[in-house]
Amino acid sequence: MAKIRVLVVDDHTVVREGIRLVLEAQTDMQVIGEASEGREAVAKVQQLKPDVVLLDLAMPGLGGLDATRLIKAQHPEVQVLILTMQEGEEYFFKALSYGASGYLLKGASTSDLVAGVRAVYSGGVALGPLVAKKLVTDYLTHSGEASASYDGLSPREREVLTLIAQGRTNQEIADTLFLSVNTVQTHRAHIMEKLNMHNRTELIKYAIQKGLLDPNA
């Protein structure tokens, strides 16, 4: 079985070494390189062709957000998973708008990190529980409570949207709801059409605003 090829990008050597130990303990993962800042990361993506780039945001030189934008512009097939201390929702949504497929805080467990790498590699979204809890809590604090209106979505479409917000792949959603992958794709298309949304970032933001992620999860 082919292993998930991971490039680890962080300006702290001890952090990179710790991540390497965690990932290489997995039978399906291989750390193929490391970088300590954004421009080096962009160059190594070109050189090494990783499947997943595990990327910090706060680094000297080119930061993680700009590095994400460049990596996705040059190599759209490469998945970027952010691992950072930055908790603000502005960083989260900007990272997704620049093409990142996941956002984990450095307080995440090793199991969340491993699951996150697998999720983005499979085409899903990795949103760690610490990030989910903070974002949902912030939105509920600002809005008072989640709206009960779902803009014309059917109960099944709300179920699909909830699972999308949790970072599930189409196959995982299909398995959970006992549907075909084609049916899930159809529901996803209908959701985006009804909400007039055009990308994953908008869908996730909407799901968080509606309280579809449990802040106590």
The candidate with the shortest Cα–Cα distance to 103, out of 76, 77, 133, is 133
Q: How far apart are CA 53 and CA 209, in angstroms?
A: 28
pLDDT at 19 over 60: yes
Among 59-63, 141-145, 158-162, 187-191, where is mean pLDDT lowest? Answer: 141-145
pLDDT at 216 over 50: no
**Residue pair 126/168 in contact by the 8 Å Cβ criterion:** no
Amino acid 135: pLDDT: 58
One domain for residues 96 and 11 = yes
Last residue in a domain, options 127, 158, 183:
127
**Residue pair 50/5 in contact by the 8 Å Cβ criterion:** yes
3-state secondary structure of 31: strand
pLDDT at 217 over 60: no
One domain for residues 92 and 140 = no
CA distances from 56 to 12, 105, 164 (A): 10, 10, 24
pLDDT band at 4 (very low <50, low <70, confident <90, very high): very high
**Residue pair 135/92 in contact by the 8 Å Cβ criterion:** yes
Q: Which pair of tokens denotes residue 43?
A: 């160059």
3-state secondary structure of 32: strand
Q: How far apart are CA 69 and CA 80, in angstroms?
A: 10
Most confident range (mean pLDDT) of 28-42, 83-97, 155-169 is 28-42
Q: What is the pLDDT of residues 81-140, one digit of tens each?
A: 999 888 777 788 788 888 888 889 888 889 989 999 998 898 877 876 656 555 555 544
Identify the residue whose tokens are 């949103």. Answer: 127
Q: Which pair of tokens denotes residue 16?
A: 């990179």
> For position 33, which CATH number holds?
3.40.50.2300
Enclosing domain of residue 168: 135-209
Identify the residue whose tokens are 């059917």. Answer: 154
Which residue has better confidence, 204 or 27?
Answer: 27
Last residue in a domain, options 95, 127, 159:
127
CA distances from 216 to 56, 111, 156, 204, 211 (A): 26, 18, 23, 18, 11
One domain for residues 30 and 117 = yes
Count of structural domains, the chain:
2
The H or E element containing residue 7 is strand 4-9
pLDDT at 145 over 50: no
In a domain, 215, yes or no: no
Amino acid 144: pLDDT: 45
One domain for residues 147 and 116 = no
